Amino acid sequence: ATRPLYNLSKSAYTNLCTIESFINHTHQSLSSGLAILVDWIRTEIMDCFKHQLPLDSGLLTASLMIQLLFKLLKALATFIHSCQEGTNKCSQENVVYHHLDLHIRQCSSSLIQGVFSWLLDR
């Protein structure tokens, strides 16, 4: 399950790096923060492979298993697609905050809630 997670995070990172060409607004700092976050998760996973550490170290603790990372990355993918929809900056900004608020309220994972709360504060 870890290899598909790595591939998904790598793809999300690539998409996040290109999002700034679609959004020339205050979202740039937000997309940069998301890109850093996804890259951090990817680095944690690859460190586990490289050092052959058990998956219960660092970010990948028993309470933050692969399923929660999949949820986070799927939420980020939804966020990326929503940012690319629409034609004007105002509607893009509304979509950004709508999705952040939706995930904060609906997701039961404390990891996802913490991440999106942090991003919303930025």
DSSP letters for 46-80 = HHHHHHT--TTSTT--TTS-HHHHHHHHHHHHHHH
Q: Say how far apart CA 71 and CA 68 lie, in whole Å.
A: 5
| pLDDT above 50 (res 22) | no
Mean pLDDT of all residues belonging to the chain: 59
> What is the reported pLDDT for 121?
58
Residue of 119 and 74 predicted with greater confidence: 74
Average pLDDT over residues 44-65: 52
Question: Collapsing DSSP states into helix, strand and coil, what is residue 14?
Answer: helix
| Radius of gyration from C-alpha coordinates of the chain | 15
Please give the share of the chain, as a percent, with pLDDT higher than 70: 0
> What is the reported pLDDT for 31?
56
> What is the reported pLDDT for 122?
52
Average pLDDT over residues 67-75: 64
How far is the CA of 90 from the CAs of 24, 28, 95, 108, in angstroms? Answer: 11, 14, 9, 29
Q: Say how far apart CA 83 and CA 35 lie, in whole Å.
A: 14
CA atoms within 13 A on the CB side of 91: 7
Question: Collapsing DSSP states into helix, strand and coil, what is residue 15?
Answer: helix
> What is the reported pLDDT for 64?
47
Average pLDDT over residues 49-73: 53
- Provide the whole-model pTM: 0.33
Sequence ranges of the domains in the chain: 2-121
